[in-house]
Structure 1
Amino acid sequence: MIRALHRWPGLLALALVTVLSLSGAALSVFPAAERIAAPQAEAGMTVAILADRIQGAYPGVEQIRRAPSGRIMAYWFNQGTPGAAVIDPATGQGVASADPNQTQRWLTNLHRSLFLGDGGRIAMAAGAAAMLVLSLSGAALMARRTGGWRHWFARLRGPLAGRLHVEIARIAVVGLVLSSTTALWMTASTFDLIPDGGAASAFPAEVSGEMGFAPDRMVLLGETPVAELRELSFPYPGDATDAFTLKTDRGTGYLDQGTGALLAWTDLTGWERVSETIYMLHTGQGAATLGLVLGLMALGVPAMGVTGVIVWLAGRRGRPRILGNQPAGRAETILLVGSEGGSTWGFAATLHAALTEAGQSVHAAPMSAFAPERYAAADRIIVLAATYGDGAAPASAKGFLDRLAAADHAPDTALAVLGFGDRSFPAYCAFAKAVAAATQAKGWPQLMAIDTIDRQSPQDFARWGRALGEVLGIDLKLSHQPARPATETLTLVSRRDYGADVQAPTAILRFALPRATLWQRVVGAGFARFDAGDLIGIMPEGSSVPRLYSLASARRDGFIEIVVKKHPGGLASSQLTALEPGQTVMAFLRRNPGFTPGPAQAPLILIGAGTGIGPLAGFVRGNARQRPVHLFFGMRHPDSDFFYGEELRGWQDEGRLTRLVTAVSRGAKPHYVQDALRGDAALVAQLIRDGARVMVCGGRDMAAGVADTLAEILAPTGLTPAVLKAEGRYVEDVY
């Protein structure tokens, strides 16, 4: 519901909201510019002194006004000819024209009404309402994505467009809520939908009938600072029944022109002060700095509009439509989906369709939308959960475990958990297992024991579906065909072979960079944007399940490079290591934002063995700014599998690599990368104390050994790999 409330106002009112925000941002500059350009009254100057100076320069002065910016303007008649000027309060003389800025007037009319009168005002009010809905619903979605309001500024992951959308919104949402709310108030006031709340300020019935009392002798004017002045109107010349009218930040008063006495005074009401505050907050008049800040926040709207559309389009491509999705309150079965790349949603769609066909009423939603109080008619809840990285929650499951932990008790509705993962990775279905453990600890009734699906296996899914059908007493057949990702053709341009001498044939494969279309460059699709450490998915012939390899190159390098070891019976590795230059393979790109060096200049400790050197070599290659990088590389033998040996020595000479430590496991004295770390224990501990980021890539056994070794090295410092992981300073890419 919240997502739809955010999506459709944004798509339908995008142009209107963009005009509203851009014109508002441009208008925010004028109060600050006026404040800088206008001569300001010195501290302590009174209205009496100012009026005396201006009257001396312009004897026919009729009115003095002071804008919230401090700019003072005077209006007069001289021999029947009107005049107006911006006044220098130090002299009372005019220094600039008081005519309105034509550009500002044009932008104001555009911002208020699109030059369409009352109809335009209503349209822009609708735009402000859309902006308010977008801001509030977006804030709720951000809290859901980050795992709650307490994690508002939590680190994000995912495609660039989505991260930019949220990063901008995190900062801008407060200003947008303020701007849109005040805009709606001002529109309502314009159409008299809100009472003005002003107290009647009646002109005094009796005056002295005398004239000619000088303003500089009037007590009230002498007690009123110029900083509080809004307007001083002089009596009509020759009319003894008229009076001076003084308007200040405190209220309105009338002064006898013959005696200077205060005839009447009316304070500003609380309602008037509220209205004036809202006007100030919206326009920046009287709060130029705040106006500039709000204007900068408004500039985020077009960027969020573009990135929002990109995210929406990507979501439509990556997430299947679930037909007949029932409201949560009326569904018998609730499907909660935790997915990172979107593939788990495909399984959810298949399950949803099969249950619906069997007569069930089914509602599917992301795990981040978990709200058991809404599931009034539910008989069961089924969780389909993928795992991100080293056991973390996937994007659409953020906050699920936190909400469960905060709940007083578990739902009474029976639960089934199904995990999705890849057994070749150490954290196989770790998040799903964490969900199952947490629900059992909470006392949540179990419909079925936790089960898992390996590598998107349709056979595993069908088997689990039959078991679910038996529990439900229905014939449930799940025939799922994983959606084949959009692939591009990559042409091999060169290869370097290693490992034959140690019966571990391995190749560094370099592919030509495919040409990116304009649309791909804009949205970052295909191979338009990638970095070392991202993943390339190879679709081997005869299989619908891709094999992922870490990239050893970035887009700026001008090629795509991976390191592949041939595994006995390995379908993808066999095909890749058999490729010759000029031959092609079908592939797609998958982001891996959790495995990047990060933008900081803190030292890097890169640890890898075997083909795990691939992305680490890519990080060194891209280290043009010569960030301190210490590489620990484990190999079998330098003559057989010293991958990137020549390049690493060249990168050392260029300053891209600070230090290279190798460990050879096939020799008289087997030496592993863990041993190399122990040999440099003091340096490693010091680097980590100084803020170094540790990156590990390679086999799971090597990674486990590295973690144990670092725990030993860091024990005297009080740090552990777990603490570093929590701080984002220890990341792994293991297989």
Structure 2
Amino acid sequence: MIRLLHRWPGLAALLLVVLLALSGAALSVFPAADRLTAPQAEQGLSVAELASRVAAQHPGVEQIKRSPSGRFTAYWFNGDVAEAATIDPATGKAVASADPNPVQRWLTNFHRSLFLDDGGRIVMALGAVAMLLLSVSGMVLVARRAGGWRRWFSGLKGPLAGRLHVEVARIAVAGLMLSSVTALYMTASTFGLTPEAPAALAAPAQVSGETGAAVGQIDFLQGVPASSLRQLSFPAADDPADVFTLATSDGEGFIDQGNGALLAWQKSSGWQRLSETIYMLHTGQGAAALGLILGLLALGVPLMAATGTLVWLAGRRGRPRIQHNSPLASAETVILVGSEGGSTWGFAATLHKALREAGQQVHAAALAQFDADRLHQARHVIILAATYGNGDEPASARGFLAKLAALDTPPAATLAVLGFGDSSFPSFCGYARTIATLAAAKGWGQLLDMATVDRQSPQDFARWGSDLGTMLGLPLDLVHQPVAPPALALTLVSRRDHGAEVQAPSAILRFSLPKVALWQRLTGRGFGAFVAGDLLGVIPEGSSVPRFYSLASGAADGFIEIVVRRQPGGLCSGQLTALEPGQTVQAFLRPNPAFRPAGGAAPLILIGAGSGIGPLAGFIRANRAARPIHLFFGMRHQASDFLYGEELTQWHGEGRLTRLVTAASRGRRPHYVQDALRAEAAEVLALVKQGARIMVCGGRDMAAGVSEALAQILAPAGLTPALLRAEGRYAEDVY
């Protein structure tokens, strides 16, 4: 619900909120400029002395005003000609024109009303309402993503647009809330919707009937600081009934022009002081530094609008449009989808259509939108869940496990969980299994035992659909054809082969970088921006199911490089290792932010074996800042499959690689990479104590052995791989 309250007002009022923010940011500069350029009153200067200096320079002075920025303006008649000027309070002389800045006046009218008078004020007030709603809902969403209010500034993972959106929001949201609340108050005041100000002070009934009191000698004015002045109006010298009118930050009153006596005084009300404070907070008039800060924060709005739109578009591209989606409150069957790349949504659409054609009211939504309190009519809940990384939640499922764990009573609707994954990975359907285990522990009634779909198999899906139909008493025939994601043709430019002598053929394949559209470069999508560790999805001939390979290069390198080991019977690996320069493959990019070196100068411990060297080599290649990197690399035989051997030597000489430790499982002294770690236990532990981040890439058996070795190495310090993982200092990319 909160996400919807954040998304739709933001999209609906996108242009209006951006215009409000940009014009407000521009206006925030003027109070500061006014403060810097206007002559300021010296400390201790009284209104009496100020008025005396101005009257001496301009005998026909009628009024002196002080703006919140401290600029003094005098108005007088020179004969029959009305004149005005900014004055220097030290001398009373005119120093600058009093004409308002035309740019500031134009921006002010635009910001307040879009030049549409009262109708425009209402429109801009609606923009302020939208900004306030976005700020409040955004704060809640940021806290949820960070893991609570106390973790407001904790580290983030995920695509760049989403991370940038949250990072800017963390800093700007308080200022945006202040600006929107004060704007709404000022609009309400304009339309008379705030408490009425006290009645204006009545003109005095009795005066001395005399004239000629020297303004510099009036006792009351001598006790009023010039810094508190709002306005001083002079009486007509030939009218004994006329009086001095004084307004200050404390109140307003009248002074007899004959004897200088205070005739009446009315202190400012609480509402007047509140209104002045709100005006100051919103405009920066009288608080130039605050105005600049708020203006700077307002510049985050266009950036958040752009990144928020990119996140929304990415979400729409990541899921198909499901036709005839019933409202959640009336649905008999609810399909909840946890998907990272979007393919699971395709299966959800097929299931949704089949159930609807069988006469069911069906609602499909992202798993992250789960709300047990809204499952009023649902008899069945079906969860289709992919797994991201090493058993982690996919993008559209963020926060679901926390919601499930918090339930006191499980939903009355029965549950079926279907996992999607690749059985060649160690955490095959790991996230779906976690859901099923937690749901069972909560006592959620089961419609079906958990099942899996391997590599988007239509046959697995159809078999599960038949079982589901039997349990529901419905004829379900789930015919699903996975749709290949949009891909580009990549041309192979070079290859280097290794490992044939030890029956482990591997190849380093380098492809030319395809032409990238300007919008992709600007938004960092597709091949517009990628780094080592991201995933290259290759679609083999005769299949629509992609295989993923970790990149050994980044966009800055000007090429795309992967390391492929030929798997027995492997469709994609067989085609790739047979590829010759000049030939092409269909491929696309998928970000992999969970497997990237964290920023900073802390050491990196990279551990890999075989083709797992790919992304690790990419990290070293990109280490132009010479961050300490220690590489532990395992291979079968150093003479045949020492991948990147020449480059590693070169990178070591350039300072990109601090240390290289190798382990060969065949030869005179066979040992594995985990054995090399144990041999360097003291060094590894010292690096971890310095804050090192550990990154592991390679086969599942190797990763398990590395984890076991590290557990032994870290134990004396009271650390474990699991603890480092929780701190964001241990990452795996295993297969």
Please classify the TM superposition score into its range, dividing by the shorter chain length.
over 0.9
CA contact (8 A) 1:199 1:268 kept: no
Residue 32 of structure 2 corresponds to which residue in structure 1?
Answer: 32
Summarize deviations over 1:65-121 as a string: whole Å, max 9, x none: 221112222222233333323233333333322221122112212222333434433
CA separation of 1:452/1:363 partners in 2, compared to 1, >3 Å: closer, same or farther?
same
CA contact (8 A) 1:383 1:416 kept: yes
Residue 418 of structure 1 corresponds to which residue in structure 2?
Answer: 418
Structure-2 separation of matches of 1:227 and 1:440: 71
SS at match of 2:527: coil
Summarize deviations over 1:318-339 as a string: whole Å, max 9, x none: 2101112222222222222222
Residue 298 of structure 1 corresponds to which residue in structure 2?
Answer: 298
Residue 86 of structure 2 corresponds to which residue in structure 1?
Answer: 86
Residue 734 of structure 1 corresponds to which residue in structure 2?
Answer: 734
Q: Which one-letter code corresponds to 1:454 in the other structure?
A: D
Name the stretch that deviates more: 489-498 or 244-253.
244-253
Residue 686 of structure 1 corresponds to which residue in structure 2?
Answer: 686
- Displacement of 1:623 after TM fit? 0.9
Residue 372 of structure 1 corresponds to which residue in structure 2?
Answer: 372
Structure-1 separation of matches of 2:63 and 2:244: 10
- Displacement of 1:4 after TM fit? 5.0
Structure-2 separation of matches of 1:366 and 1:153: 26
CA separation of 1:715/1:85 partners in 2, compared to 1, >3 Å: closer, same or farther?
same
Name the stretch that deviates more: 227-236 or 117-126.
117-126
SS at match of 2:526: coil
Name the stretch that deviates more: 456-465 or 572-581.
456-465
CA separation of 1:156/1:395 partners in 2, compared to 1, >3 Å: closer, same or farther?
farther
Summarize deviations over 1:559-608 as a string: whole Å, max 9, x none: 11111111110111110000111111111111101111122121111111
Structure-2 separation of matches of 1:524 and 1:131: 27
Structure-1 separation of matches of 2:146 and 2:481: 31
Summarize deviations over 1:612-635 as a string: whole Å, max 9, x none: 100111111111111111111111
1:627 aligns with 2:635: no
Residue 180 of structure 1 corresponds to which residue in structure 2?
Answer: 180
Equivalent runs, 1:192-203 vs 2, <5 Å: 192-203=192-203
SS at match of 1:516: coil
Summarize deviations over 1:663-720 as a string: whole Å, max 9, x none: 1111222121112222222221121111111111111111111122222222222222
- Displacement of 1:652 after TM fit? 1.0
1:400 aligns with 2:430: no
Residue 53 of structure 1 corresponds to which residue in structure 2?
Answer: 53
SS at match of 2:247: strand
Structure-2 separation of matches of 1:265 and 1:78: 32
Structure-2 separation of matches of 1:148 and 1:470: 43
1:604 aligns with 2:604: yes
CA contact (8 A) 1:219 1:260 kept: yes
- Displacement of 1:610 after TM fit? 0.6
Residue 96 of structure 1 corresponds to which residue in structure 2?
Answer: 96
Residue 274 of structure 2 corresponds to which residue in structure 1?
Answer: 274
Q: Which one-letter code corresponds to 1:62 in the other structure?
A: E
Same amino acid, percent of matched pairs: 67
- TM-score of the pair, normalised by structure 2: 0.95
CA contact (8 A) 1:147 1:400 kept: no
Structure-1 separation of matches of 2:152 and 2:361: 35
Equivalent runs, 1:506-545 vs 2, <5 Å: 506-545=506-545
Residue 344 of structure 1 corresponds to which residue in structure 2?
Answer: 344
Structure-1 separation of matches of 2:408 and 2:46: 64
CA separation of 1:581/1:190 partners in 2, compared to 1, >3 Å: closer, same or farther?
same
- Displacement of 1:136 after TM fit? 4.0
- Displacement of 1:490 after TM fit? 0.7
Structure-2 separation of matches of 1:89 and 1:422: 79
Structure-2 separation of matches of 1:349 and 1:573: 31
Residue 570 of structure 2 corresponds to which residue in structure 1?
Answer: 570
SS at match of 2:528: coil
CA RMSD of aligned residues (A): 2.2
1:723 aligns with 2:728: no
CA contact (8 A) 1:145 1:368 kept: no
CA contact (8 A) 1:145 1:395 kept: no
1:327 aligns with 2:327: yes
Residue 584 of structure 2 corresponds to which residue in structure 1?
Answer: 584
Structure-2 separation of matches of 1:353 and 1:274: 59
Residue 308 of structure 2 corresponds to which residue in structure 1?
Answer: 308
Summarize deviations over 1:546-566 as a string: whole Å, max 9, x none: 110001011111111111111
- Displacement of 1:177 after TM fit? 3.0
Summarize deviations over 1:192-222 as a string: whole Å, max 9, x none: 3445434432222222222233333334323
Structure-1 separation of matches of 2:251 and 2:348: 65
Q: Which one-letter code corresponds to 2:525 in the other structure?
A: A
SS at match of 2:453: strand
Residue 161 of structure 2 corresponds to which residue in structure 1?
Answer: 161
- Displacement of 1:156 after TM fit? 3.3
CA contact (8 A) 1:145 1:396 kept: no
SS at match of 1:220: helix
1:559 aligns with 2:529: no
Equivalent runs, 1:114-133 vs 2, <5 Å: 114-133=114-133
Summarize deviations over 1:143-190 as a string: whole Å, max 9, x none: 555555555444433332333233323332333333233333323333
Residue 473 of structure 2 corresponds to which residue in structure 1?
Answer: 473
CA contact (8 A) 2:338 2:385 kept: yes
SS at match of 1:64: strand
Q: Which one-letter code corresponds to 1:31 in the other structure?
A: P
Unaligned regions of 5+ residues in structure 2, if any? Answer: none
Residue 616 of structure 1 corresponds to which residue in structure 2?
Answer: 616
Name the stretch that deviates more: 424-433 or 632-641.
424-433
CA separation of 1:226/1:384 partners in 2, compared to 1, >3 Å: closer, same or farther?
farther
CA separation of 1:390/1:369 partners in 2, compared to 1, >3 Å: closer, same or farther?
same
- Displacement of 1:260 after TM fit? 2.5
Structure-2 separation of matches of 1:155 and 1:368: 20
CA contact (8 A) 2:375 2:411 kept: no
Residue 650 of structure 1 corresponds to which residue in structure 2?
Answer: 650
Structure-1 separation of matches of 2:82 and 2:390: 77
SS at match of 1:588: strand
1:255 aligns with 2:255: yes
CA separation of 1:670/1:286 partners in 2, compared to 1, >3 Å: closer, same or farther?
same
Q: Which one-letter code corresponds to 1:725 in the other structure?
A: R
Name the stretch that deviates more: 182-191 or 722-731.
182-191
CA separation of 1:224/1:402 partners in 2, compared to 1, >3 Å: closer, same or farther?
farther
Q: Which one-letter code corresponds to 2:688 in the other structure?
A: I
Residue 463 of structure 1 corresponds to which residue in structure 2?
Answer: 463
- Displacement of 1:486 after TM fit? 0.4
CA separation of 1:267/1:466 partners in 2, compared to 1, >3 Å: closer, same or farther?
farther
- Displacement of 1:533 after TM fit? 0.5
- Displacement of 1:522 after TM fit? 2.7
SS at match of 1:533: coil
Structure-2 separation of matches of 1:498 and 1:560: 19
Q: Which one-letter code corresponds to 1:611 in the other structure?
A: S
SS at match of 1:235: coil
CA separation of 1:314/1:26 partners in 2, compared to 1, >3 Å: closer, same or farther?
same
Summarize deviations over 1:252-306 as a string: whole Å, max 9, x none: 2222222332222222223223322322222111222222122122212222333
Q: Which one-letter code corresponds to 2:544 in the other structure?
A: S
CA separation of 1:396/1:94 partners in 2, compared to 1, >3 Å: closer, same or farther?
same
Structure-2 separation of matches of 1:484 and 1:151: 39
CA contact (8 A) 2:161 2:310 kept: yes
Residue 638 of structure 1 corresponds to which residue in structure 2?
Answer: 638
Structure-2 separation of matches of 1:399 and 1:316: 19
CA contact (8 A) 1:144 1:368 kept: no
SS at match of 1:527: helix
Summarize deviations over 1:447-501 as a string: whole Å, max 9, x none: 3322222222222222222222222222222222223100110111111111011
